[in-house]
Structure 1
Amino acid sequence: MSQKNNIKKTAFLLMMINLLSRFLGFIREMIIAKVFGRNSVTDAFFAAFTIPDVMYDLLVVGALSSGFMPVFNEHLAKDDEEGAWKAANTFITVAIIFIVVFNILYYALARYLVPLVAIGNAKDPATYALTVKLTRFMTVSVSFAVFAGLSMGVLNSYKIFTAPALGPVMYNVGIILGAIILGGKFGIYGLATGVILGSMLNFGIQVPSFIKVGKRFRLKLDTQNESYKRMLKLMGPAIFGLAIMRINLVVNQNIASLLDQGSITGLRYAQRIIMLPVGIFGASVSTAIFPTLNAHIARKEYEEYKTVISQGLRTLIFITIPATVGLMVLNKPVVRLLFKTGKFTEQDVLFTAYALVFYAIGILALCSVPVLIRCFYSLQDTITPAKIGLGIVIFNITLNLIFVKFSNLAIGGIALANSLASLLQMFVLYKVLSIKAKGLKTREVMITFVKSIVAALIMGAVVYLTSYGMDKVLGNASKLAQLINAGVSIGIGVIVYVTCAYLLKMEELQDAIKMIKKRRK
């Protein structure tokens, strides 16, 4: 019971910090929308982020989760801290060398890379030139982002979560400061400066904690270290799988760049809203359970391993199903409240809200897939998720082309293809993991799923009627009216969902109530 409570307490703490980070993220996006709107300038800015995001995913999400942390945690579980750091020192040193070389090449070849990530931008000389300049300008932020990721991997292995979780908070603070203080005078370059500042703060806040646990850290190359070799062996397929997935996102962005001007920006704003539940709940649960999964496998505690997976998935289902229904019902009120200001018009609201409906379909999958992939990583199996990922990318790109070419869905087709592909990936990963683990607690998961669907549908009907009525009475012209509409509708939705969950005797609600009562004592 204590382990179960520890996981839930850790997940709860991370959810609160991630909630703060996501709140600041929305403040950031609102400022960008107000100052710059949805146009070719913002398309250039967001396109310039693409390759840094790819590198962060490959080196941090891929290499750390699949190769570094399972091996590092295995040494720690066996009280072999010295062995853990011998491998870690070489891993971190190689990563630093790689990122320095990458930055040099990235800066030099920026003009050739931009057409690969946004071919539509390359067709307009002004947008192309701006994208290249912003790409080069923000190169240094990649280094600090990777340093922050490496630090996070070490700290999470020691089950230190607070400082790494606060990193994204500081990242958003940096961007907000850049936009507010420098945006007016230097335009989009002021915002880009904020990105650099934010990445530095993200790394800087983790340094004190890293110094405490990293006393054995040295810049050292021992490429013959067996544990380091195992890290490389494990991370290879994972990086391949992630690279395939990122190629998929680049293809999506390229297709969007060929549609109406501002399509990249509209898709991004819809994605930012979707990433609220994904970032708060999906990332929190996967981060909280990963060290525990690794420890159970290291000790051959397979039944406990299955229990942790079940707890994680049921928690995500309980939270994300109502989030999906809520965002589909309140798509326009939410977008209007968050972004309609300054240069972001009502037409931009409708454009973004349209994409949001289709993205919302995949929230559960977007939260669950990282958890399931980490379950494979804890088994030191990085090949299976990569193979599945390759098939999903082909499926996603095919759907994209079909929807955009043979339907009137436009950017909605891109969002829908992404959601359907994510759902398929979730189902396939779960099925294969169940076979590999010789059975998972599927019955428990399905009971939670069915009850959550029932409660969420009732909630959705009530929320729709509430929002519709308030829109008729208050209108949506003022921020106060928008806030009241969204706030009251969401509040009533939470009450209805919790009431339904209580009547359905959902264990996840009872666990949450017990946790709150315990924290009050």
Structure 2
Amino acid sequence: MSTGTKVAKAAGIIMVAMVLSRIIGYVRDMVILARFGQNKFTDAYNAAFSIPDFLYYLLVGGALSSAFIPVFSSYIATQKEEDGWRVASTIFNIVIILMLVGITIGFIFAPALIYILVPGFSPDNLDLTVKMTRIMFLQTFFMALNGISMGILNSYQHFLAPAVGSVMYNLGIIVVGLLLAPSFGIVGFAIGVVVGAALNFAVQLPALLKLGLRYRPIMDLSHPGVKKIGTLILPVLIGLSVTHFNLFVNQNLGSSLSEGMITALRNAQRIMQLPIGIFAIAIAVAVFPTLTGHAARGEKEEFKKTMSLGVRTIIFVTLPAAVGLIALKTPVVRLLFQQGKFTVEDTRATAYALLFYSIGLFAYSAIQLLNRVFYSLQDTRTPVTVGIGTILVNIALNFLLIKPLGHGGLALAYSIAGIVNLLGLLLILRQKIGGIDGKRILASFTKTLLVSLVMGLIAYLTARFIEMLVGTTTKFGQLLQVGGGVSVGVLVFAVLVLLLKMEEGELAKSLFLRRFQKRR
């Protein structure tokens, strides 16, 4: 099976599960917003959830897997499985100890941590946020286990169980939250986060056992592989923290705005993250072991081809998604959330933030892959260096834009910082590997942007026409408006891609179809 076919199959598996996970994640948000609205209670929940969500991103999709996979995969690729499992066992034991210590410290210092995060909250809301934060800290233990197990499974090209685990995570939050909400209020959903994290790990355990789990209760700190992970993981933590640190800064400043603005920012950011979670992360996770294998075997040309294919495919898929979200921002938010205690004003506030978040969607999508490109080369310093610069840019832009644009200014600052991060990574990567197929990537970006703008305009006009024709007072009318706008937009995009004979169209097509093709 060729490299492209392996990547497409892996990405296809992840995408299917990601779509399910994102749908269930939307249902989770919809249930919470319909029941509680966009106010101080959901602000408190989102502020408390931001810390475990940050740790989930780092440990499951980030630092542990990004530092662990290159080392573990190199042992697998060079037929040294015994050494690989010795390293995995040691890291597993170290993480368990560190998480237990970290959870204890988190419990003790939660009030100070939350005050730094949202200083603009009232005393009552701070207390509620602290309570939920302490509950959600328990999930970090399971998130650490998830990170290691996912790293092992992905190194063996096994993607299904980790992907299904993310579905169970959101499902656990919904079910437990609904059961406990009558008695515990919004705190019930905080308890659901812990249960969801435990289910995530439980789903992966059978796959590990089937693989031939060779866990040992050892602490071989002198092993070269363990030392290598130790040198990689701290810079990776810092590098992957950039995205969420910028969100923390936004949350800090947003706590001083009117009630519900933190929730509006989070709702908009979650919508913007949908294409990233479904497409960009799926492609990046699928490509990562392949990149690591090429790097370990010194296959430079294959490495460049795989990297270029990944970047172009991500841009081709997420750039039109961003333009589509901008064109249909209000209809999308209205369809997803406007019900129960979620009002028309809440829709406007969320759509306003979504407009500015969508500008940086393509950049944060490509960063998912580019960070992993550097990690596959066992270079963790570059993402850290670029990341620190991005944090400074984001903070400066936050203070510059919050007054004229309100919470929309915080979203715009986040987007601009992401674009700066992307450009910095590309420039340094070009110097590091002697070319990145830059002309091809730029040509692809330009064509995709032009086609997307045409698509966005037609999708917007279609949505307006449907609104005048059938109205949007009912969910059916709202669904018809969004569905019609999206359908016409996708059709226009596909036709223009075919007329321009864009190669990326075939790449994206294979990404979806090869998953379902039989092996020859």
TM-score tier (shorter): over 0.9
Counterpart position of 1:417: 413
User: Secondary structure in 2 aligned to 1:119?
Assistant: coil
Amino acid at match of 1:318: F
What does residue 34 of structure 1 align with? 34
**CA–CA distance in structure 2, aligned partners of residues 58 and 186 of structure 1:** 29
Question: Could you say which residue in structure 2 is the equivalent of 1:78?
Answer: 78
Matched letter for residue 315 of structure 1? T
1:333 maps to 331
SS at match of 2:120: helix
* C-alpha spacing 1:85/1:513, structure 2 compared with 1 (3 Å): closer
> Is the 1:234–1:382 contact (alpha carbons within 8 Å) kept by the matching residues of 2?
yes
State the match for 1:481 in structure 2.
477
Single out whichever of 319-328 and 146-155 deviates more from structure 2.
146-155
1:55-454 matched pairs, under 5 angstroms: 55-121=55-121, 124-405=122-403, 407=404, 409-454=405-450
Distance across 2 between alignment mates of 1:461 and 1:52? 39
SS class of match (1:216): coil
- Which segment drifts farther, 347-356 or 41-50? 41-50
Aligned CA distance change for structure 1 residues 47 and 102 (closer, same or farther; 3 Å): same
- What percent of counterpart residues are identical? 44
2-side partners of 1:237 and 1:496: how far apart?
43
1:248–1:397 contact (8 Å) kept in structure 2: yes
Residue type of the alignment partner of 2:452: A
Shift of 1:179: 3.1
Letter in 2 for 1:471: E
Shift in Å, 1:301 = 0.3
Q: Retained in 1: the 8 A contact 2:246–2:414?
A: no
1:40–1:262 contact (8 Å) kept in structure 2: yes
After superposition, the C-alpha distances for 1:172-201 in whole angstroms (9 at most, x for unaligned) are: 111111233322343112212221221111
User: How far 1:423 moved relative to its partner?
Assistant: 0.6
Contact 1:39-1:261 within 8 A present in 2 as well: yes
1:74/1:253 Cα in 2 relative to 1: closer, same or farther (>3 Å)?
A: same
CA RMSD of aligned residues (A): 1.6
SS at match of 1:380: coil
The residue number in structure 2 matching 1:53 is: 53
Aligned partners of 1:117 and 1:250 also within 8 Å: yes
Aligned residues of 1:245 and 1:390 also touching (Cα < 8 A): no
Change (3 A) 1:242 1:263: same
Q: Could you say which residue in structure 2 is the equivalent of 1:21?
A: 21
Deviation at 1:513, TM superposition (A): 4.4
Residue 220 (structure 1) shift? 1.4
> 1:244, CA displacement in angstroms?
4.9
Separation in 1, partners of 2:517, 2:160: 21
Name the aligned partner's letter for residue 10 of structure 2: T
- Asked if structure 2 preserves the Cα contact closer than 8 Å seen for 1:44 and 1:131, the reply is yes
* Deviates most, 189-198 or 371-380: 189-198
The worse-fitting range, judged by mean Cα deviation, of 214-223 and 16-25 is: 214-223
> Which moves more between the two structures, 374-383 or 107-116?
107-116
Give the C-alpha shift of residue 278 in structure 1: 0.5
Post-superposition offset of 1:237? 1.6
Superposed CA offset, 1:412-464 (max 9, x none):
00000000010111111011101101111112212221221121111111111
Q: Amino acid of the residue matched to residue 71 of structure 1?
A: V
d(CA) in 1 for partners of 2:513, 2:322: 28
Q: Compared with structure 1, are the counterparts of its residues 514 and 60 closer, same or farther at alpha carbon in structure 2 (3 Å cutoff)? A: closer
TM-score (norm 2): 0.96
For residue 380 of structure 2, what is the amino acid of its counterpart?
T
Please, which moves more after superposition, 443-452 or 368-377?
Answer: 443-452
Q: Higher mean Cα deviation, 429-438 or 108-117?
A: 108-117
* 1:361-403 deviation per Cα after TM superposition (whole angstroms, max 9, x unaligned): 0110111112101101111100111011000100010000111
Instruction: Provide the secondary structure at the position in 2 that maps to 1:205.
Output: helix
Distance 2:240 2:510 in 1: 38
Q: Kindly tell me: are residues 477 and 504 of structure 1, through their superposed partners in 2, closer, same or farther at Cα, counting changes over 3 Å? A: same
- Uncovered stretches (5+) of structure 2, i.e. residues with no partner: none
| 439-448 vs 333-342, which moves further | 439-448
1:494 counterpart = 2:490: yes
| 1-structure distance, mates of 2:513, 2:358 | 32
Q: 1:59 Cα shift?
A: 4.0
Q: Is the 8 A contact 2:63 2:240 kept in 1?
A: no
Q: For residue 461 of structure 1, what is the aligned residue in structure 2?
A: 457
2 CA distance for matches of 1:76 and 1:452?
Answer: 38
User: In 2, Cα distance between the equivalents of 1:387 and 1:509?
Assistant: 34
d(CA) in 1 for partners of 2:118 and 2:513? 51
Superposed displacement of residue 212, structure 1: 2.4
Alpha carbons 2:8, 2:512 under 8 Å: kept:
no
Between 1:145-154 and 1:237-246, the stretch displaced more is 237-246
Distance in 1 separating the partners of 2:103 and 2:269: 27
Q: Give me the whole-angstrom Cα distance separating, in 2, the residues matched to 1:170 and 1:66.
A: 23
Q: Which amino acid aligns with 1:480?
A: F
User: Quick one: structure 1 residues 474 and 513, their matched pair in 2 at CA, closer, same or farther if it must change by over 3 Å?
Assistant: same
| CA distance 1:512–1:133, change in 2 (3 Å) | closer
1:391 maps to a residue whose letter is: G
CA distance 1:297–1:263, shift in 2 (3 Å): same
| CA distance in 1: counterparts of 2:85 and 2:316, whole angstroms | 39
CA distance in 2, matches of 1:241, 1:516: 30
Other structure's SS at 2:341 match: coil
Residues 173 and 198 of structure 1 are in contact (CA less than 8 Å); yes or no, is this contact kept in structure 2? Answer: yes
CA shift in 2, pair 1:396/1:364, >3 Å: same
* Partner AA of 1:108 in structure 2: I
Paired residues of 2:59 and 2:143 also in contact (CA < 8 A) = no
Q: 1:514 to 1:147 in 2, by over 3 A?
A: closer
TM-score normalised to the size of structure 1? 0.96
Secondary structure (helix, strand or coil) at the match of 1:206 reads: helix
Does the Cα contact within 8 Å between 2:287 and 2:306 map onto a contact in 1?
yes
> Relative to 1, partners in 2 of residues 1:286 and 1:439: Cα closer, same or farther, differing over 3 Å?
same
Query: Contact 2:69–2:151 (CA<8 Å) still a contact in 1?
Result: yes
Q: Aligned pair count? A: 517
Deviation track 1:283-313 (CA, whole Å, cap 9, x = no partner) reads 1011000000000011100000000011101
List per-residue Cα deviations over 1:112-159 (Å, max 9, x = no partner).
Answer: 2210211112xx121011111111222222211221122111111111
